[in-house]
Amino acid sequence: MRYLHGFREGAAATALAELLAEEVDPSREYHLMEFCGGHTHAISRYGVEDLLPANIHLVHGPGCPVCVLALPRLDAAISLARRPNVTLVSYGDMLRVPASRRLSLLKARAAGADVRMAYSALESLEIAAASPDRDVVFFAIGFETTTPATAHLIREAKRLGLANFSVYCNHVVTPAAIQSILDAPEVREWGQVRVDGFIGPSHVSAVIGSQPYEYFAEEYRRPVVIAGFEPLDVMQAIRMLVQQINTGRACVENQFTRGVTREGNRKAQMLVADVFELRQSFAWRGLGELPYSGLRIKSSYREFDAERRFDMAVEPATENAACQCPAIIRGVKKPTDCAIFGTACTPRSPIGSCMVSAEGACAAHYKYRRGLPIAA
Ligand code: SF4
């Protein structure tokens, strides 16, 4: 904890805020997107926006794993869980995400489906080994942070010869999402969302390295600073972005040097490359179909691919008309723009995915900022 406290020091935060106040150009407005839900959580929890000059605006990005899972793929997971001999295993947050027709995995479990919650992907292997008469499926979601664990899981299943185990793969890749944000009409044509720079994700970057962001910095002239998840990490990254913008630079800088290198974790990358390949297209909640943005299991591990094994159908689904999650995920709206924020939709009774996980913008705002003035 001492290591963490060093990055939460109030006096240091005040000193950084004073430096930022001196360095911002009062004639500019700075619009900075934090891609990752971990940063959204830290910003809300520690009141980082309250320490920033008024002309620095933070825009929440799509980097919350449960928030970006497209509704039809969640519906397909629920249909799978309802099959008589299937046991579906997933992380806790995923169980609470509202699906179509007011369903969720938790409600499916209450109605008799065998849905289990796991803290670690490897627990699903233990369940499969202990239940040879059941078809055990791990419902895999998330960015590059969790993909290596799922790859390891599949290799272990092969090594152990677990014939009753498979994975429903919904892993996505971060660079494709950043590119879609920069190419979105709200950003490029309509000027509805302004993004002058990115606070880059740290855990994802520990795996993929900082190199994949160089393309965005060069091609789109947007600076990227990879930041840790503590409040001083975020504030220092904001200061580094302001310095780049002030001097007309657009490059990738790494604030989180204690965890990220340019090359990333080669061992994890090789593990992922052995098991997964890019899909030509993948649907994201809020962002739509994005080319080469999702992963599927390679044919060399096809026996562990739940989509092949169960011939799963992914049917179109309609979002709840009141929920603004798709617009929030794109950075177009803030949680308080949703008419049912904090009334019909709360963390105890979520209507949309952004209110479920601690990394969701609505949940973070509800927990730490409800009733406080809204940053512009
Ligand atoms: S408050 Fe609830 S319903 Fe509204 S956008 Fe957020 S998650 Fe969706």
DSSP-assigned states of every residue in 99-155: -GGG--HHHHHHTT-EEEE-SSTHHHHHHHHH-TTSEEEEEEEESTTTHHHHHHHHH
178 CB-side CA count, 13 A = 27
Out of 324, 343, 357, mutate this one to test ligand 1's pocket (max ligand atoms within 8 Å of CB): namely: 324
pLDDT of residue 359: 87
The closest residue, in CA terms, to atom 6 on ligand 1 is 362
Ligand 1 nearest atom to the CA of residue 328, by list position: 5
- The residue whose CA is least distant from atom 1 of ligand 1 is 341
| Residue 360 alpha carbon, nearest atom of ligand 1 | 7
Distance 63 CA to ligand 1 centre (A): 16
Count of positions (residues) in the chain: 376
Pocket lining: 325 vs ligand 1, CB cutoff 6 Å = yes
Who's near 229: CB < 8 A, 6+ residues apart?
38, 39, 41, 42, 202, 203
Other beta carbons within 10 Å of 7:
19
- pLDDT of 336 reads 92
Cβ(354) – ligand 1 distance below 6 Å: yes
How far does residue 335's CA lie from ligand 1's centre (Å)?
7
- For residues 191 and 1, give the distance between their C-alpha atoms in angstroms, rounded to a whole number: 43
| Ligand 1 atom with the shortest distance to the CA of 335 | 6
Distance, CA of 353 to CA of 170 (rounded, Å): 16
Report the alpha-carbon distance of residue 116 to residue 95 in Å, rounded.
Answer: 9
Please report the pLDDT score of residue 191 as a whole number.
67
The CB of 335 under 6 Å from ligand 1? The reply is: yes
Distance between CA atoms of 66 and 284, rounded to whole angstroms? Answer: 11
Place of tokens 């995920």: 329
Ligand 1 pocket check for 331: Cβ under 6 Å: no
Query: What tokens were used for 282?
Result: 């993948």
Is the Cβ atom of 340 under 6 angstroms away from ligand 1? yes
373: Cβ–Cβ under 8 A, 6 or more apart, which residues? Answer: none
Task: State how far the Cα of 340 lies from the Cα of 331, in Å rounded to an integer.
Answer: 18
Instruction: Give residue 321 CA to ligand 1 midpoint distance, Å.
Output: 10
- The alpha carbon of 320 and the centre of ligand 1 are apart by a number of angstroms equal to 10
Q: Which atom of ligand 1 is nearest to the CA of 325?
A: 5
Q: Are 251 and 244 in contact (CB under 8 A)?
A: yes
The CA-based angle 2-143-245, given to 5 degrees, is: 70
Q: CA-to-CA distance for 125 and 155, rounded, in angstroms?
A: 11
Please report the pLDDT score of residue 346 as a whole number. Answer: 95
Atom of ligand 1 nearest to the CA of 327: 5
Report CA(99)–ligand 1 centroid distance (Å): 13
Q: Which atom of ligand 1 is nearest to 342's Cα?
A: 1
Token couple for 344: 């019909």
Q: Is 364 in the pocket of ligand 1 (CB under 6 A)?
A: no
CA–centroid distance, residue 345 to ligand 1 (Å): 6
**Angle made by CA atoms 39, 257, 32, in degrees to the nearest 5:** 35
Per-residue pLDDT for the chain (376 aa), expressed as one digit of tens each? 556 777 888 899 999 999 999 999 999 999 999 999 999 999 999 999 999 999 999 999 888 899 999 999 999 999 999 999 999 999 999 999 999 988 999 999 999 999 999 999 999 999 999 999 999 999 999 999 999 999 999 999 999 999 999 999 999 999 988 888 888 887 776 767 789 999 999 999 999 999 999 998 999 999 999 999 999 999 999 999 999 999 999 999 999 999 999 999 999 999 999 999 999 999 998 888 999 999 999 999 999 999 999 988 888 898 889 999 989 988 889 999 999 999 999 999 999 999 999 889 999 999 998 876 656 5
> Cβ atoms within 10 A of the Cβ of 361, count?
28
